[in-house]
Structure 1
Amino acid sequence: MDKQTHRSWMGALKLYTHRPVITLLLLGFSAGLPYLLVFSTLSAWLRDAEVSRSAIGFFGWVGITYSVKVLWAPVVDHLPLPFLSRWLGKRRSWLLLAQGVITIGLLLMAASDPEQHLVMVALCAVLIAFASATQDIVIDAYRIESASEEYQGAMAATYILGYRLALLVAGAGSLLIADTSTWAAAYTSMAALMFGAMLVSLTIAEPVPAERTGNPLTLFTREWLYETVVAPFVDFFKRNGQFAILILAFIGLYRLSDITMGIMANPFYLDLGFSKTEIASVSKLFGFIMTIVGGFVGGLCVARYGVHRTLIAGAILVASTNLLFVQLAYTGPELPWLIAAISADNLSGGLAATGFIAYIASLTNRAYTATQSALFSSLMTLPGKFQSGFSGVVVDHIGYAGFFGYAAIMGIPAVLLAIVVYKKRNRE
């Protein structure tokens, strides 16, 4: 059984008062802010500019950048930045660099017009996604190094809360600004917030990483490459044996359902006839509240019942809530159905994401935090991001109702694998 299974409810609640848990709230906001700005918020801007749904769907491939971050995670994990690392420490220096690039990318995008310079918008989106993925690498390592395993569930919950607060700002906030002003003003405002996140990075404490045995290695030698690139993967397979393949398959399929449908959500609402203000208002009120509830309940469930049972519940909820979008496609622009769909989607997403982040932390060797956590989070998003690139084409051929039904079916393998992983853990 999971270690946290026997913790009391009061003990679980007290975890949320510790400094590392609170710090993850701020870092979660920084991580979440750029995500929608190259994903569903960008898709709303593109649809507003009358870019075709098929082209919007292909913009989903920008998100593959997040899914291949494992390729440069070893460099982030081991390579100190000149001057900055001596001043701030390795984790905070990389964090500040990534946030600076995101800020610049958002300002460049704000100065671009999708109708006239679609390629420029795409290049800016790739730049922001690359820097955002690098920021995720650092934050994942920071979270795991900042506290022991008993805090990881609570840290995942506050991270999700901060992340969802940022999604609210980057999603509903951007839509409201765009509806009352311009999309350029919306993206400029987001760049200003990202600059604020840079100031926060200067105030947080640098974590103490796990010490590794052996002498320090010269950069980019054969020994260094083995230690930074090969050793993290060898370690994972040694610890898990043949079951490692099933774990990786589970990680790759767990978020397939909601990532597949995500990029088409805002174009779907707009095509149904909802205004940007209506979409923003529902997301702000009902979506945000249910996200907080989902993340908080997920953190409590991890502490009280363990990671694996939380994962099973999350997988079932994420897959089934897609059916509400099917119903919305048939009912049309009915506000109660929009509220129900967004609320259920955010509730299930918050709970599932909290459990999944805690699960990834439990798999990671603290000697290879950045590389191994990047491997897991990359696999988590790669299948869904690849499929999302074809989402616009699918919608054009079978309609929105068929598309969301297809997304629901994509969640079934995750439910089955969650049960298998849970049974294997119990046998151990």
Structure 2
Amino acid sequence: MPSKPLSSWWESIQVYRHPKAISLFFLGFSAGLPLMLLFSSLSFWLREAEVSRATIGFFSWIGLAYSIKWIWSPLIDKLPLPLLKTWLGRRRSWLLVSQAGITLGLIGMALTDPAISLEQMAILAVVVAFCSATQDIVIDAYRIDAAEEKLQAALAATYMMGYRLAMIAAGAGALAIAGFAAGTSEGYVPQAWMTAYLCMAALMGMGIVTTLLIAEPATPTKPPALEQKAIDWMTSKSHLPDRIVKLAGWFYGTVICPFADFIGRHRWQAVLLLALISTYRISDIVLGIMANPFYVDLGFTKQEVAAVSKIYGVIMTLVGAGIGGLLTMRFGVMRMLFAGALLSALTNLLFAAMAHVGHDILWLTLVISIDNLSGGIATAAFIAWLSSLTNVNYSATQYALFSSMMLLFPKFLAGFSGVVVDSVGYSPFFIMTALLGVPVLLLIWLASKHLAYQSAHSGEDQ
């Protein structure tokens, strides 16, 4: 259940000083860095390499790795890595391996020219996406395991600050580095993008160092009720081969129990919650794939986009994440969830207006600033809400399911974004993405009614 709002502004602000909140900032940076390098910055790179808009749109399907990560999340939840577990523990060992995979994948992308080897670039991007999705599974589980519920909003906020700052570094920063490396050269310069992506690979070192410094969270010692059933079942089937009994019991406890636990707690209302999860960020995600191609087609240079994002984008992103976490702790999760969804839909209309305005730095500044502010508020509330839905015994698997659902349908639609823009133009496309957010508001209202009823009947405070 969402935790009770804190009683004072001062109490809310002080939570940000907690060491775990600080560590989540750096882990958030590590999680956010690959995202822009797979989508926004990569789409800019591909467009400069004269890859078609339709192909760029289909490239976004690489992000489906984030949408199906629940498939391998049970292994990460329960399976220890040999040798590394003894040194780092279960969560941190998976974290280190995934971060190493991202770093190596980014180096491979840096050394690949999409104008010559588009298929190789796609394969490497899939590798980075898989490792990045794995890292997300572990960080989310670590965040939920490491702190009690009252800290989750603060951890979500600092995580988002790091996450969004990394997105700026991998977005505006990568564009700025590529522009600087290209110098006075006109047109497409592959070496400039190689330099940018190598620098981004080096920044993954921040996440690796954090992983080595943080403490491994405690794990529950007593198996939950559903897993106890599996243990009892294995005991009663002693006449069967031992290997088969253990495999069946492990599968039930690792794969079936996380999903059975969620459905058991929410019954048929689980469908409502999953519908909200799968559509909450639909407006932003569908629009996001075409944002940089939109800037390119309006005539903005890498330097212009990078300058606006680096200054105003960074400021508004950090302000948005901080405000989002603060307001969530002060007024509660569901109210800010609604406010964030409304803001996300409305800000898309600014892109539609900008399509008519054309090349205008002031409009670019306005759009990026307000979009980043609303995104920070919405995401901080959303992460805190998702965390409140999980059972700590299955934190990795359940949160992976939730965050996968968040991306699956929007990413699928986003794959057709280039085709839609080619058919109707940018302005109608952006209006369509804003309208996609309207049903989300109804789902939030219905979900809040269900959770309030469930809380009242379980004796917990909303």
Unaligned 5+ runs, structure 1: none
1:202 counterpart SS class: helix
Counterpart pick for 1:422 among 441, 448, 460: 448
1:82 counterpart SS class: coil
> Which residue is 1:61 aligned to?
61
Change (3 A) 1:302 1:211: farther
Counterpart pick for 1:223 among 249, 253, 268: 249
1:174-193 CA distances to partner (integer Å, 9 max, x unpaired)? Answer: 00111111000000111111
> Which residue is 2:380 aligned to?
354
- The code of the aligned residue for 2:88 comes to L
> Which residue is 1:385 aligned to?
411
RMSD: 1.5
- The code of the aligned residue for 2:363 comes to W
Offset at residue 6 of structure 1 (A): 4.5
Does the 8 Å CA contact 1:102/1:128 hold for their aligned counterparts?
A: yes
Change (3 A) 1:367 1:2: closer
Counterpart pick for 2:194 among 180, 184, 190: 184
- The code of the aligned residue for 1:351 comes to I
The 5 A counterparts of 1:4-403 are 4-181=4-181, 182-213=192-223, 214=228, 221-403=247-429
Offset at residue 12 of structure 1 (A): 0.6
- The code of the aligned residue for 2:322 comes to F
- The code of the aligned residue for 1:193 comes to L
Larger Rg: 1 or 2? 2
Offset at residue 3 of structure 1 (A): 3.5
1:34 counterpart SS class: helix
Does the 8 Å CA contact 1:258/1:318 hold for their aligned counterparts?
A: yes
What is the alpha-carbon distance in structure 2 between the residues aligned to residue 59 and residue 194 of structure 1? 23
Offset at residue 52 of structure 1 (A): 0.5
Offset at residue 200 of structure 1 (A): 2.3
Change (3 A) 1:234 1:399: same
Offset at residue 287 of structure 1 (A): 1.3
Offset at residue 79 of structure 1 (A): 0.5
What is the alpha-carbon distance in structure 2 between the residues aligned to residue 188 and residue 147 of structure 1? 35
What is the alpha-carbon distance in structure 2 between the residues aligned to residue 262 and residue 384 of structure 1? 11
2:204 counterpart SS class: helix
What is the alpha-carbon distance in structure 2 between the residues aligned to residue 410 and residue 402 of structure 1? 13
Does the 8 Å CA contact 1:39/1:263 hold for their aligned counterparts?
A: yes
Offset at residue 415 of structure 1 (A): 1.2
Offset at residue 195 of structure 1 (A): 3.0
Does the 8 Å CA contact 1:145/1:210 hold for their aligned counterparts?
A: no
Offset at residue 2 of structure 1 (A): 5.1
Does the 8 Å CA contact 1:34/1:128 hold for their aligned counterparts?
A: yes
Give the stretch that moved more between structures: 60-69 or 4-13.
4-13
* TM-score scaled by length of structure 1: 0.98
2:5 counterpart SS class: helix
2:45 counterpart SS class: helix
- What stretches of structure 1 move > 6 A for 4+ residues in a row? 215-220
Offset at residue 419 of structure 1 (A): 1.4
Structure 2 residue 432 is matched with structure 1 residue 406:
yes
What is the alpha-carbon distance in structure 2 between the residues aligned to residue 400 and residue 137 of structure 1? 34
What is the alpha-carbon distance in structure 2 between the residues aligned to residue 250 and residue 158 of structure 1? 24
